[in-house]
Structure 1
Amino acid sequence: MSGNGWDNHAGAPVTPDCGSPKDGEGLWLWLQVQHWAPIKAGPCNPCIEVDTTNKWALWNDGTIGGKQLYLLIPTDRKKGIECQDIWEHRDPNYWVGAWTYVTKHMSPLSIGLGVNSQYARKEDQLHIHMAEFEGDAKKYLDNNFNKVAMKPDDWPNKILSVPGRKDTQTPPQPQVRSYRVLFVKSLAADNLFYLLRQMVPANQMGNQTMIVIPTSAPQPLGFYVLNSETTLDQNKGTSTCDLLLACK
């Protein structure tokens, strides 16, 4: 048992919440990764990188508004954020894998990471979005840094109203939602899924969305970790990361 309280061993059995290769709907992404990950990267292969040690693939998710989108996807069956395998075991750290790719091939000054709840996602295979974050959200977080949790124990009580993607009104208005916000210096120090599980009951993990946005000077270097669910703060929350990230 590790010092953080989770088992850190390989070969953990697949549990019902992690899915099986043949269950349910929304399996297109899972089936595609199974097909393409073993094949050498090339111009026709959407798996642009495969890490066989950590068992994940970097996936070309097309473009939106001329901006390139990517996903990090486990090559083992992990249905989504409700899969206890991702929050009971320290490794692999999917957030670190995604951010490492961002720092090498994208603009870390404008890119965030996100995972949707099981109710907001389109595909039933865990995937971390790597996409441009909303500038208004970043400005709000920077301006309210003193209201952000500095340690996981305070995370449940640090709820901020963060402006996100603009709606279709005339003139368009930011869609403001409630998020619990935590500051971390590094994505490698802890498993963020584990920290979230310590805050919410296991049977509520499927309701959660998580978003990671990097800080910038004059704030300490690190990351804002945002979490929400539709019932948060008297139903002012959200189950999707799409309001803060420019995903499809």
Structure 2
Amino acid sequence: MWDDVQYCVQHPKEARCLNTTSNYVVLHGKPESGRNFLLSPTCRINGIECPFLEHADVANYWSDAWVNAKPGGAVPVRADFIGLGINSQTARQFNQLHIHMAGVVEKTQQQLHDLEAQKRIAISPGRWSQYLVFLTGTKGNRTYRALLLDSLNYNLFALLDKYVVSPPTTMTMAHQTLIVVPKKAGKDYTGDFYVLNSDESLHDGTDTCDELLVYA
């Protein structure tokens, strides 16, 4: 993947380089479809475990992914419901940071709406680790920590490390998966975002975003 990123930086007009900027490149995922894209930084970052991602001046790759994937974006995901995700170190295939831009399991949006109405989703990052929910993915019910944010103007990696992973827990960033589900009301996105995290330390937890995202 890093070779692909470098190629697009050098040849930004090539058809396989869907959007090339100074900070990131958007590529097709595999298999190629209208709902399977990847956003990868133009600098060398292995993945979610890299401390560099928590620096205050790091690019906001989650916001960049949404700007591309949303309806009317540079590389819009052709799905009624859109999801963004990153896998843990153990679940990923490539050691170059990449955010999946894909569809999301259709019932996920309604499940999250219902959980929010029941006040079962954190509205403050400081309480993120305390709000555990079950969501139905492609392999059954999985446990996620659920947070609602009013925008993506936050460093999600830093929030995850500070409020979920850091001591006194024995968890590490390398084992985490992170998923963003833009909130939708009717046909329109509201500007709010459900942020989901899981890892295998949770009962029925998972270290991959693939169970909630739909690529084909």
1:132 to 103, 109, 118: 103
TM-score, length basis structure 2: 0.87
1:50–1:58 CA contact under 8 A, matched in 2: yes
1:161 aligns with 2:157: no
1:81–1:206 CA contact under 8 A, matched in 2: yes
After TM superposition, the structure 1 = structure 2 runs for residues 161-240 of structure 1, keeping only pairs within 5 Å, are: 161-165=134-138, 167=139, 175-188=140-153, 190-198=154-162, 199-201=164-166, 204-217=172-185, 221-232=191-202, 235-240=203-208
1:33–1:75 CA contact under 8 A, matched in 2: yes
Calculate percent identity across the aligned residue pairs: 35
Output one character per residue of 1:66-88: Cα deviation in whole Å (capped at 9) or x when no partner. Answer: 54311110111100000010122
Secondary structure at 1:42's aligned position in 2?
coil
Partner of residue 245, structure 1 = 213
RMSD: 2.1
Partner of residue 34, structure 1 = 6
2:35–2:215 CA contact under 8 A, matched in 1: no
Tell me, in whole angstroms, the C-alpha distance in 2 between the residues paired with 1:107 and 1:247: 10
1:114 to 85, 88, 100: 85
Shift of 1:214: 1.2
**Quick one: which amino acid aligns to residue 98 of structure 1?**
A
2:52–2:58 CA contact under 8 A, matched in 1: no
Tell me, in whole angstroms, the C-alpha distance in 2 between the residues paired with 1:178 and 1:222: 21
More strand by share: 2
Partner of residue 52, structure 2 = 85
1:113–1:131 CA contact under 8 A, matched in 2: yes
Tell me, in whole angstroms, the C-alpha distance in 2 between the residues paired with 1:87 and 1:208: 14
Shift of 1:236: 1.4
Shift of 1:109: 4.7
1:152 to 113, 122, 125: 125
Aligned length, in residue pairs: 204
Secondary structure at 2:84's aligned position in 1?
strand
**Quick one: which amino acid aligns to residue 184 of structure 1?**
L
1:109–1:214 CA contact under 8 A, matched in 2: no
Shift of 1:108: 7.4
2:77–2:103 CA contact under 8 A, matched in 1: no
1:72 aligns with 2:39: yes
TM-score, length basis structure 1: 0.76
Moved >6 Å (runs of 4+): none
Tell me, in whole angstroms, the C-alpha distance in 1 between the residues paired with 2:80 and 2:194: 13
Alpha-carbon distance change, 153 to 118 in structure 1, aligned in 2, over 3 angstroms: same
1:102–1:108 CA contact under 8 A, matched in 2: no
Between structure 1 and structure 2, the one with the greater Rg is 1
* Unmatched tracts of structure 1, length 5 or more: 1-28, 168-174
**Quick one: which amino acid aligns to residue 155 of structure 2?**
N
Tell me, in whole angstroms, the C-alpha distance in 2 between the residues paired with 1:210 and 1:40: 29
Shift of 1:178: 0.4
Output one character per residue of 1:80-125: Cα deviation in whole Å (capped at 9) or x when no partner. Answer: 0000101223430000110000121335751110000000000000
**Quick one: which amino acid aligns to residue 208 of structure 1?**
Q
Tell me, in whole angstroms, the C-alpha distance in 2 between the residues paired with 1:228 and 1:118: 13
Alpha-carbon distance change, 91 to 109 in structure 1, aligned in 2, over 3 angstroms: farther
